[in-house]
Chains A and B, each alone.
Chain A
Amino acid sequence: MITQTVFSSRPLVAVLISLLAVPVLLSCRTKDIRETWTFIAATLKFLVVASMLPLILAGNEIRFTVFDVLPGLPIAFRVDAFGMMFALVSSFLWIITSAYSIGYMRSLHEHGQTRYYCYFALSLSATVGVAFSANLLTLYLFYEMLSLATYPLVTHHQDQEAKSSGRTYLFYILGASIALVLPAMLFIYAKTGTLDFAAHGFMGGAFSKSTLLVLVLMLVFGFAKAGIMPLHSWLPAAMVAPTPVSALLHAVAVVKVGVFCVARVITGVFGSDLLLSFNLNTVVCTIASVTIIAASLIALSQDGLKRRLAFSTIGQLSYIVLGVALLSPYAVTGAMLHIVMHAFGKITLFFCAGAIYAASGVKNISQMVGIGRRMPYTMTAFLIGVLSVIGLPPCGGFISKWYLVLGTLQADKPVFLAVLLVSSLLNAAYFLPIVYKAFFCTDEEAQFKKKVDEVPIWCLVPLCITASISVILFFVPQPFLKLAQMGVQAFIGG
């Protein structure tokens, strides 16, 4: 399928833009200049990423080697369809989130805004770096960079709650990557002498089944950002962060980096043939399924809106892991698409949660009865987000879920079909009542006697945009569907 390899420094530029934005942001004197620069950096980054899209869609692959840090093992970038898709989504959503951040941070008068924007830019560098990694070492480098860059964001409030959440966050994320990913990576390198992702994996036949099983488990759990149970507790804890952080990082960038890494490892390191021949993918599927169901059940009982969203995210992430691990063409297509669809849906939900908090100071679902009348735009967007996450038309989420469902059948594993359906019902059960109560309630029930206005325009516009895109993606799933299909072609060749 791949017709040509293009050598270009554009992936490096895409990563560096937001990195270089950091000193610029630090030197800014006023808020306005700082925010302008954030926008400029975000837009430039998106444009650079998007400029590579035609090349990729034409079936090319872009490569760039930065440093030979270890002999024969460079820090190198490789842009393929899958990576492109992820980079496109995250860099696009950075623009939207920047706008939202401005509205949110200003209306709440948060402190340390320079630091906030700097680390945000840094996180995005790392995210795109992960998307474009050509080997496991580069992937690990950017993964760790992301862990560390998000720590000050998660603990932004610098109070005791932030401190303990930050501790949980690092304990899981950094701990798992050092204790599990690093040794697994070193072991693989010591035995195979390479870490370059290959379309069908590079592990060969040098490993016994039990060794492979251990390695798979170490890598799947080690990328704890994917939130696979039992290494998921960091995500609800990280919800102490300001909402734009939760929105972009904990609905899109960080968590998707986790599943992206898992997907890369499954396809690019082990390869579909090897996993299928030992039937190891079923193990991963089972783990993901348990997470899906358990997370949905826990989400039911959460009253904090952001916490409910967090558990929903944990479940949705495992959809992606499940899809990739099924290793049937439709399932992998669905999984890749779900990265995009869920990103737009969930970021809308987080934006709404933040908007509600910024406008009314309310964080808990039980206090949100009747809010739909006060904030009709926000809650409409919320409804769209909910539909997308549940996987109902006319939202993008339906397409990815459709492919996932088809994928379970194609892989001939109906058990996982049941998992998907049950979990969809649970999704509906924990999301729809919120929307229902927001709009339909008696006057006595309504919690908002005082007048609550819609949020500032800076907050409102972004969430409307992401909600509309969620809808648009249902009708026009390109270029993502094409990219996903190309990715599948490369990984599974079917």
Chain B
Amino acid sequence: MIRHLPALLVIVPLLTALTVSALSWVAPRLCLPLTFGCIGASLASSIGILVEVIKSGPVVYTMGGWSAPVGIVYVIDYLSAPVLVVVTAVALINLIASSKQIDRDFSDKKGTFYTLYILFVTGMVGIVATGDAFNLYVLLEIAALTGYSLIGIGHERAPLSSLNYLFIGTIGASFYLLGVGYLYIATGSLNMADLARFMAMPEHGTSTMVMFAFIICMTGLFIKMGLFPLHGWLPNAYSYASPASSALVAPLTTKVMIYAMIRVGLYVFTPAYVFGRLQVGGAMVWIAVAAIVFGSLLALAQKSLFKMLTYIVIAEVGYMVGGFFLGNRMGITGSALHIINDAAMTLCLFLAAGAITYRTKSDDFKDLKGLFHQMPFTMTAFTVGALAVIGVPPTCGFFSKWYLIIGGIQAGHYGYAAALIFSSLVNAVLFFRIFETAYFDQPGDGKGHHHGHHKHHKHKNKMVEAPVSMIVPLMITALGLIALGIYTGDIVTHVIQAAIPGGIA
């Protein structure tokens, strides 16, 4: 069974998606349970594979029995196994949390929504699992297309933002495809492990065609992950989408693209080529620094919750890209760790923001007044998420930042370390501004409440907490942030260290 899990991880959701789509005509009430069961099963098998990988090393599955390099292989190794768990866990948690939101926003299109939801997860799982460069493109587009639809299904400005995202996303994917084409011309292979072997040959190490392939592949991925200055599509797409969609798409898309970047960088082009031969590291880290600074500053300029979160996502992308291109063990460890942590953090914040808008119908800062009294549980989880983003121990955000900054210092790249510190400070300002509004100000009060003289006054505002189905997943995520932080040591020693090729110091 374990042997077939890598294939089942993709095939089962694919088939379930079709079933859900068909069911939506016959028995729409069964759509949610079926989706839930499917993603739950994916999560269970991902965890199973992770355990298997930790126990006995990477699992390789050859599709249809065609062995590599001719056939398509799925490889679950130390790098992909934890990301698989993250992808499926995020999808499951968000599904539970958003079911009410989906009922309310898309009552007539529930079946469609769930179909897209599963397909999106399929695509993401596939990207993580595949060991074939072209297959990666196909799954990238499956995930992207369903992502566009999940965003575009929302109301108001969502379709327009989604179309813009689609244009830019298509360019990104096409660039990646083009890069793979050049790589194929140069080496004659599409299998990642095979390509890495070819890269060790001197004639490929020096070839301009391979260099061109690298540049264009990476550019494609950078567009897809929204790395500054290629981030233009991201804020609108994530903030105008329905919270049910954005809490799925925002934590996963950028993070899985970072995963793809690490995968392609380490396991296709190989570290010796990327960090040794090309020497692009320094320049890329500076771009990452720009992304961090720019993202943080623009987040500061926002006046609504979701918009602010999207710019934080842009800054976080800078964290991870920078960490990877530092090219040392600490930096890459931090980058890989941050994929996991940031997915959890982003999920927590987007879910909390979703719960808030579910009740207040607005995410404008001025509508957040008095929320600590009205939605104490939501705000508690939001606080934990915020602390993780700021990087306060023992939340997970602190520890990935730890690795990234140490990596920066060891590489002698102090600008990067400083940018991370700067971004932590800005994040602190961002979130404490929200806390102030939510803690001190009274709702329906223009300038904030002055009650210095009658402070015995009982708060009249009633608790209007979000439904239990939202609160429970949110709380689990918030606790997860702390658990991830505490178990950082185990995650790093047992999984991530093994995922980084030995040659990297």
A109: chain B residues at CB < 8 Å are: 456
- Nearest B residue to A188, CB-CB: B409
Asked if B428 and A68 make an inter-chain contact with CB atoms under 8 angstroms apart, the answer reads no
- Bitwise, A55-75 to B at CB < 8 A (1) or not (0) is 000000000000111110111
Residues of A within 8 A of B485 (CB): 69
CB-defined interface of B428-451 with A at 8 Å, one 1/0 digit per residue?
Answer: 100010001001100000001111
Chain A interface, >50% SS class: helix
Interface membership of B99, Cβ < 8 A: no
Interface assignment of B296: CB less than 8 Å from any CB of chain A: no
> Bound state CA distance, A74 and B410, in angstroms?
21
Output the least CB separation between A148 and chain B (Å).
7
Does B452 contact A160, Cβ atoms closer than 8 Å?
Answer: yes
The answer to whether A140 and B425 have CB atoms under 8 Å apart is no
CB distance from B183 to the nearest CB of A (A): 36
Complex Cα–Cα for A111 and B405 (A): 43
**The one of A69, A144, A182, A187 that contacts B489, using a Cβ cutoff of 8 Å:** A69
Residue of A nearest to B440 (CB): A163
Given contacts A71-B492, A111-B458, A140-B393, contact A159 B452 (CB under 8 A): yes
> Within 8 Å of chain B (Cβ to Cβ): is A331?
no
Also in contact, A70 and B399, with CB within 8 A (given A110-B455, A137-B393): yes
Docked-complex contact A75 and B394, CB < 8 angstroms: yes
Contact between B409 and A186 (Cβ–Cβ < 8 Å)? yes
Please name all residues of chain A whose beta carbon is closer than 8 Å to the beta carbon of B405 when the two chains form the complex: 182-183, 186
| In contact, A159 and B450 (Cβ under 8 angstroms) | yes
Number of residues in B with C-beta < 8 Å to the partner? 41
Interface status of B321 (Cβ within 8 A of chain A): no
Residues of B within 8 Å of A178, CB to CB, are: 390-391, 421, 424-425, 428
The smallest C-beta distance from B393 to any residue of chain A, in angstroms, reads 4
Cβ-based interface call for A157 (8 A): yes
CB under 8 Å from chain A, chain B span 187-241? none
Query: Which residues from A are CB-within-8-Å of B391?
Result: 178, 182
* Interface residues as binary, A176-199 with B (CB distance below 8 Å gives 1, 0 otherwise): 001100110011011100000000
A-B contact count (CB 8 A): 102
B493 at the binding interface (Cβ < 8 Å): yes
Contact yes or no, A163 B452, CB < 8 A: no
Instruction: Report whether B428 and A175 are in contact in the complex, using a CB–CB cutoff of 8 Å.
Output: yes
Are B425 and A175 touching (Cβ within 8 A)?
A: yes
Q: Are B489 and A163 in contact (CB under 8 A)?
A: no
B402 near A170: Cβ-Cβ < 8 Å: no
Interface membership of A155, Cβ < 8 A: yes
Assess whether A158 is interfacial by the CB under 8 Å rule: yes
Contact at A179–B421, with CB atoms within 8 Å?
yes
Point out which of B391, B421, B487 has the most chain A C-beta atoms below 10 A from its C-beta. Answer: B421
Q: Does B452 contact A161, Cβ atoms closer than 8 Å?
A: yes
Q: How far is the CB of B354 from chain A (nearest CB, A)?
A: 25
Question: Please, how many angstroms separate the alpha-carbon atoms of A167 and B421 in the complex?
Answer: 19
B392 touches A (CB below 8 Å): yes
> Which residues of chain A are within 8 angstroms of B409 by Cβ–Cβ distance?
186-187, 190-191
Q: Does B272 make an interface contact (CB < 8 A)?
A: no
Give min CB distance, A151 to chain B, whole Å.
8
Q: Is A174 in contact with chain B by the CB < 8 A criterion?
A: yes
A186 lies within 8 A of B493 (CB): no
Please tell me if the beta carbons of A158 and B425 are within 8 angstroms of each other in the complex: no
Q: Decide if B406 is an interface residue (CB 8 Å cutoff).
A: yes
Q: Does B171 contact A (CB under 8 A)?
A: no
Q: Is A214 positioned at the interface, with any CB of B under 8 Å from its CB? A: no
Q: B457 — which chain A residues lie within 8 A by C-beta? A: 111
A182 touches B424 (CB 8 A): yes
Residue of B nearest to A147 (CB): B392
Interface mask (B396-407 → A, CB under 8 Å = 1, otherwise 0): 000100100110
Q: How far is the CB of A240 from chain B (nearest CB, A)?
A: 10
- Interface assignment of A141: CB less than 8 Å from any CB of chain B: yes
Is the Cβ of B490 less than 8 Å from the Cβ of A68? yes
The distance from the CB of B408 to the nearest CB of chain A, in whole angstroms, is 9
Q: Min CB distance, A338 to chain B, in Å?
A: 30
Write out the residue numbers on chain B whose beta carbons fall within 8 Å of the beta carbon of A155. Answer: 439-440
Decide: A68 and B489 in contact? CB cutoff 8 A.
Answer: yes
Q: How far is the CA of A69 from the CA of B482 in the complex (A)?
A: 11
- Give every chain A residue within 8 A of B432 (Cβ-Cβ): 167, 170
Query: CA–CA, A74 to B394, complex, Å?
Result: 12
Query: Is A235 part of the contact surface with B, judged by Cβ < 8 Å?
Result: no
Q: Residue A166 at the B interface, CB < 8 A?
A: yes
State how many angstroms separate the Cβ of A398 from the closest Cβ of chain B.
Answer: 40
Alpha-carbon distance A189/B402, docked complex (angstroms):
10
**CB of B387 closer than 8 Å to a CB of A:** yes
Q: Is A215 an interface residue (CB 8 A)?
A: no
Task: Give min CB distance, A12 to chain B, whole Å.
Answer: 13
B428 in contact with A163 (CB, 8 Å): no
Contacts of B392 in A (CB 8 A): 144-145, 148
Question: Once the chains bind, are B436 and A69 in contact (CB under 8 Å)?
Answer: no
Residues of A within 8 A of B428 (CB): 170, 174-175, 178
The reply to whether A158 and B440 contact each other, CB–CB distance below 8 Å, is yes
Question: Closest B-chain residue to A189, C-beta based?
Answer: B406
Residue of A nearest to B403 (CB): A70
A67 to B484: give the CA distance in the assembly, Å. 12
Within the complex, the shortest CB–CB distance from A23 to chain B, in Å, comes to: 13
Q: Does A162 contact B (CB under 8 A)?
A: yes
Instruction: Give the chain B neighbours of A167 by CB distance below 8 A.
Output: 432, 436
Residues of B with C-beta under 8 A to A182? 391, 405, 421, 424
For A68, A141, A161, A186, which residue has the most chain B Cβ atoms within 10 angstroms? Answer: A186
Cβ-based interface call for B135 (8 A) = no
Q: State A50–B324 Cα separation when bound (angstroms).
A: 49
Within the complex, what minimum Cβ distance (angstroms) separates A17 from chain B? 18
State in angstroms the CA–CA spacing of A150 and B418 once bound together: 28
From residue 476 to 494 of chain B, which have CB atoms closer than 8 A to chain A?
485-490, 492-493
Q: Quick check: B393 and A111 within 8 Å, CB to CB?
A: no
Find chain A residues with CB under 8 A from B439 CB.
152, 155, 158
- Among residues 349 to 408 in chain B, which have CB atoms less than 8 Å away from a CB atom of chain A? 387, 390-394, 399, 402, 405-406
Q: Beyond the given A111-B457, A175-B428, please list 6 additional residue pairs across the A-B interface where CB-CB is below 8 A.
A: A111-B455, A157-B452, A159-B450, A160-B448, A161-B452, A186-B402
**Complex A-B: 22 CB contacts under 8 Å:** A68-B489, A69-B394, A74-B489, A75-B394, A111-B459, A158-B439, A158-B451, A158-B455, A159-B449, A160-B440, A170-B428, A178-B390, A178-B425, A179-B421, A179-B425, A182-B405, A182-B424, A183-B405, A183-B417, A183-B421, A186-B406, A186-B417
Closest 8 CB pairs of A and B: A68-B489, A190-B409, A141-B393, A159-B452, A163-B440, A186-B405, A190-B406, A109-B456
Residues of chain B having any CB pair with chain A under 8 Å: 387, 390-394, 399, 402, 405-406, 409-410, 417-418, 421, 424-425, 428, 432, 436, 439-440, 448-452, 455-459, 485-490, 492-493, 497
Residues of A within 8 A of B (CB): 67-71, 73-75, 109-111, 137, 140-141, 144-145, 148, 152, 155, 157-163, 166-167, 170, 174-175, 178-179, 182-183, 186-187, 189-191
